[in-house]
Chains A and B, each alone.
Chain A
Amino acid sequence: MSAGRLACVLLLLLGGAARALPRNTFVVAIGNNQGSVGEVDLLYAESDAKAVGEALRLHAGVSSSRQRLLLGEGAEPVRRALLELNTQLRAEASGEPSALVVFYSGHADAAGLHLGASTLPLDELKALVEGSAAAVRVLIVDACRSGALTRVKGVVEAPTFALETKDDVAMEGLAIITSSAAGESSQESDRLGSSFFTHHFVNALRGAADANGDAKVTLTEAYAYTYQQTVRSSGSTLALQHPTYAYDLKGRGDLVLASPADAPSRTGRLTLGSAVLHVVTKERVDGPLVAEVVPQGSRRTLTLPAPQTYFVQERRPDEFREYEVKLGVGEASALEQRSYRAVRYDRLVRQRGGERPFVVQLSAGGGVRGPQFSPADVGPLVQFGVGFDFAWGSVTLRARGFTGAARNDEDTLRRRDWEGALGVAVSRSVDWPWLTLSFGVLVEGVGFWQRFETNRTAPHRAAAGAAFTALFALERELLKALSVRLEGGPVASLFPLATVDERGAQRVGVGSAVTFTLSLGAVWRL
């Protein structure tokens, strides 16, 4: 299903208000890192189950006493837990609306859940959930090939759905959401510290999925957001992953899974910037990842634990904006009202951030080149360059011009030297907060010209040679995309040199000279 269509999936009920999960909601969160024999242990399945339970407690108002957390349990304990819960639901049936949310994270295949050495068949799981006494049953499965539950196979556009509605009918029915289509794998991310699907589902409940800005996250919104972000995240791996759904719900309005704005104490609300990717970490830029979200709708507000200091990186197409936010309990903070540090394009590329694999740079500068043929021929130089900044370094094509006046040792001959060079520079950079240090090598083909100003017989000379420069540069950003660069280093040149003996006879050989270059210029990154 395309993101656009998903974004437009709406419940039909005209004028109908969304209904939140009832007070009588039970949650069973199952997580098992171990699968069947031969399956690699997962890292985050059990922590994902805990995270979903916590998110439903904070944002859906599900009491801890109505949550069952089954971590590392086999099929029999899970079966027994579901049966016991169903018995409890029937026993407590009082006409009050009720709901059951079952979440599973772990290994599975098209036949069943792999709970360590045991397997719980998918048909049995579905029957246990569907057969619950709760009016609304939501089954969420984060596992490989879980799309078998919804019978959605592979990358197939699932049709937009519409819920049948009747007035005056309480919400009831079964909704199933799976993390991947049948035949697809569900993936964990070390970077996120979670599976792709669960990470985005939890952030959806925090408020990232609030597309209509009503401070509530419905089942539809949560699925649409989780689908989009899971496809985006898995797109950076070798295997795309498409969450699926199957809804058999009827009632009035959409089912509200979370009300982030009504979160209990020890939370705060952070309103994000534009509808671009935001990475939220604790304390500092390389701190524990809290959320990777692309906020939907106009509200773009996440409910996060507080008090806490967060580092937020807003990844705009042209730059990263980095914020430090101290979020207090009950506090509402908006990024657009805060100062930020902009990270330049090339730094983004070197940090392997942003969407651009490289940045184009144009440079120009002027400076001085030290003595080469005689102590006095120091002179001005100009240089221009066009290059590319990659994650591993920069490659620049450079052109240089130089002129200098000189006299011979006996001070009997005046000379003017000219140089024109074309070369390639390769460099690496180290980014500090206020400066970027670069170091590299410049290799040039050089044209030399010598013009003599004398009454003596001294024909003008021209030759081709080469130059090798060890480049060191300090760069400081002045304006957006414009930096000033101070650059220099030793230059070793090779050229044909006529060695003159005492009788004035000349013999041509390879001459070399070591001098220095120093220049100040500007760099403009496109």
Chain B
Amino acid sequence: MAAVRGGWLAAAVLVCSGCGPGLVDGRYEGEPRLALKGSTSPPPPEFEPFKRQLRLSLFYAAKGIMGPQTLDGLVEHEATGQSIELPWSLDWTIYDEPEARHLMTPDFALGIPVVYADKNGNHHRDADEPMVGQAGGTGVVFVKRALSAQESPTRRPAPAVFALVAKPLPCSPPPAIAPGETDCGVPLAEPCMSDAACGTGKCLTAEPWPWPGGYCSLQVTPGGCAPKTGIVWRSHAGTQASYWVQRCETTAECRDPYVCDPLQKACLPLNNVSLRISPETRVLPLCQPGPGMTLPPP
């Protein structure tokens, strides 16, 4: 018996000694491209009849990101879909890059998480199937190759990436404000519960999204101090004020659970996809025009 056990152990050791990436079974769906966490707000009563028919998918703005849009103008990527029930908190793994039909330019695509009622269970949104919810502040951008500011729909240079981004996207060139030489007395991106913890800065906590643990920032003012590790980020809520936030190239530079937005090069709270459940048909703005800009008509 001991010899048999020893044989099995030896075999297991041998098998694992050259493990490598290993084999996969039926649960493998490919290498994940994006892994998202998220949650939904509680559903209103009118969604009760089909709360078990809901499906979450990425819908891509194939016709562009400027101007108001409806769900009918977006293109679903069915392969990213999964069935959900409300209320819901998720781990959502995306394995597929957008296809050609999802791209708004040959090299650029913007997708937003959308929940709809898949009444006929065909895993595809048909025209009569209503939108139930959408992600308020998070989208998915796919850039096939590095784009210059002229090539990019956001008028900002974009690296080749498939990643989460803050939505709406800034659709104007970045402000021409260079970081300074000091930290301006503000511990950028450090946790906080009030402004007092941020020195001369501001503690971001809830607008336009929840900032996990609080986030020290510094409001951008004309002639004001520019933290050496900062980059300008403009809120799309309220007064749409601009703030200095932590500059980054990769998520590894950001405090957990913050994610580096590849288009804005800023550490932002993107990893929690907050799905707003409401009976509206209007797609939340995809693009945030620059100060003084107006968006073209639809």
Interface residues in chain A, defined as those with a beta carbon under 8 Å from any beta carbon in chain B = 373-375, 406-410, 412-413, 448, 450, 452, 454-459, 461-466, 468, 494-500, 502-506, 508-511
B45 CB-CB contact with A under 8 Å: no
B127 CB-CB contact with A under 8 Å: no
Beyond A457-B31, A497-B25, A506-B21, list 16 extra A-B contacts (CB 8 Å): A406-B26, A413-B28, A455-B99, A456-B96, A457-B30, A458-B30, A494-B12, A494-B15, A496-B15, A504-B32, A504-B93, A506-B22, A508-B19, A508-B22, A510-B16, A511-B25
**Cβ A450 vs Cβ B32 within 8 A:** no
Inside 8 A of B31's CB, which chain A residues have their CB? Answer: 456-459, 504
**Cβ A498 vs Cβ B24 within 8 A:** yes
B11 CB-CB contact with A under 8 Å: yes
Given A463-B22, A498-B24, are A413 and B33 also a contact pair (CB < 8 Å)?
Answer: no
> Which residue of B14, B21, B26, B30 has the most chain A CB atoms within 10 A of its CB atom?
B26
Within residues 1 to 44 of chain B, which ones have a CB less than 8 A from any CB in chain A? Answer: 11-12, 14-16, 18-33, 35
B178 CB-CB contact with A under 8 Å: no
Within the assembled complex, what's the spacing in Å between the Cα atoms of A496 and B12? 9
Task: Please list the 9 inter-chain residue pairs (A to B) with the smallest Cβ-Cβ separation, ordered nearest first.
Answer: A504-B32, A456-B30, A374-B26, A498-B22, A496-B22, A508-B22, A458-B30, A409-B26, A504-B93
Within residues 112 to 159 of chain B, which ones have a CB less than 8 A from any CB in chain A? Answer: none
**Cβ A373 vs Cβ B11 within 8 A:** no
B50 CB-CB contact with A under 8 Å: no
Within the assembled complex, what's the spacing in Å between the Cα atoms of A505 and B35? 9
Inside 8 A of B12's CB, which chain A residues have their CB? Answer: 494, 510
**Cβ B15 vs Cβ A495 within 8 A:** yes
**Cβ B11 vs Cβ A494 within 8 A:** yes
**Cβ B15 vs Cβ A465 within 8 A:** yes
Query: How close is B273's CB to chain A, nearest CB, in angstroms?
Result: 13
**Cβ B22 vs Cβ A504 within 8 A:** no
Query: How close is A452's CB to chain B, nearest CB, in angstroms?
Result: 7
**Cβ B25 vs Cβ A374 within 8 A:** yes
Q: Which residue of B lies closest to A467 (CB)?
A: B11
Q: Which residue of A lies closest to B13 (CB)?
A: A510
- For chain B, the count of residues having a C-beta within 8 Å of the partner chain is 29
**Cβ B24 vs Cβ A373 within 8 A:** yes
Query: How close is B164's CB to chain A, nearest CB, in angstroms?
Result: 14
17 contacts between A and B (CB under 8 A): A409-B26, A412-B95, A448-B23, A454-B30, A455-B97, A456-B29, A456-B30, A456-B95, A461-B20, A463-B23, A466-B11, A498-B22, A498-B28, A503-B93, A504-B35, A510-B15, A510-B16
Query: How close is B122's CB to chain A, nearest CB, in angstroms?
Result: 14
Tally A-B pairs: CB < 8 A: 124
**Cβ A464 vs Cβ B15 within 8 A:** yes
Within the assembled complex, what's the spacing in Å between the Cα atoms of A436 and B11? 32
> Which residue of B28, B91, B95 has the most chain A CB atoms within 10 A of its CB atom?
B28
**Cβ B79 vs Cβ A412 within 8 A:** yes
Inside 8 A of A461's CB, which chain B residues have their CB? Answer: 20-24
Inside 8 A of B15's CB, which chain A residues have their CB? Answer: 464-466, 494-496, 510
**Cβ A497 vs Cβ B22 within 8 A:** yes
Inside 8 A of A509's CB, which chain B residues have their CB? Answer: 16, 22
**Cβ A408 vs Cβ B26 within 8 A:** yes
Given A495-B23, A496-B22, are A408 and B28 also a contact pair (CB < 8 Å)?
Answer: yes
Q: Which residue of B lies closest to A504 (CB)?
A: B32
> Which residue of A407, A409, A462, A496 has the most chain B CB atoms within 10 A of its CB atom?
A496
Q: Which residue of A lies closest to B90 (CB)?
A: A502
Inside 8 A of A502's CB, which chain B residues have their CB? Answer: 91, 93
Inside 8 A of B25's CB, which chain A residues have their CB? Answer: 373-374, 497, 511
**Cβ B22 vs Cβ A457 within 8 A:** no
Q: Which residue of B lies closest to A376 (CB)?
A: B26
**Cβ A457 vs Cβ B95 within 8 A:** yes
**Cβ A373 vs Cβ B26 within 8 A:** yes
Inside 8 A of A498's CB, which chain B residues have their CB? Answer: 21-24, 28
**Cβ B24 vs Cβ A497 within 8 A:** yes
> Which residue of B12, B24, B95, B97 has the most chain A CB atoms within 10 A of its CB atom?
B24
**Cβ A508 vs Cβ B21 within 8 A:** yes
Inside 8 A of B16's CB, which chain A residues have their CB? Answer: 496, 508-510
Query: How close is A410's CB to chain B, nearest CB, in angstroms?
Result: 6
Inside 8 A of B14's CB, which chain A residues have their CB? Answer: 464, 466
**Cβ A459 vs Cβ B21 within 8 A:** yes
Q: Which residue of B lies closest to A460 (CB)?
A: B21
Given A409-B26, A503-B93, are A457 and B33 also a contact pair (CB < 8 Å)?
Answer: yes
**Cβ B23 vs Cβ A496 within 8 A:** yes
Inside 8 A of A468's CB, which chain B residues have their CB? Answer: 11
Contact with A along B72-104 (1 / 0, CB 8 A): 000000010000000000010101110100000
Inside 8 A of A456's CB, which chain B residues have their CB? Answer: 29-31, 95-96
Contact of A452 among B27, B30, B91 (CB under 8 A): B30
Within the assembled complex, what's the spacing in Å between the Cα atoms of A107 and B32? 91
Within the assembled complex, what's the spacing in Å between the Cα atoms of A459 and B32? 12
Q: Which residue of B lies closest to A458 (CB)?
A: B30
Inside 8 A of B19's CB, which chain A residues have their CB? Answer: 463, 496, 508
Q: Which residue of A lies closest to B25 (CB)?
A: A373
Given A464-B18, A504-B93, A510-B15, are A408 and B23 also a contact pair (CB < 8 Å)?
Answer: no
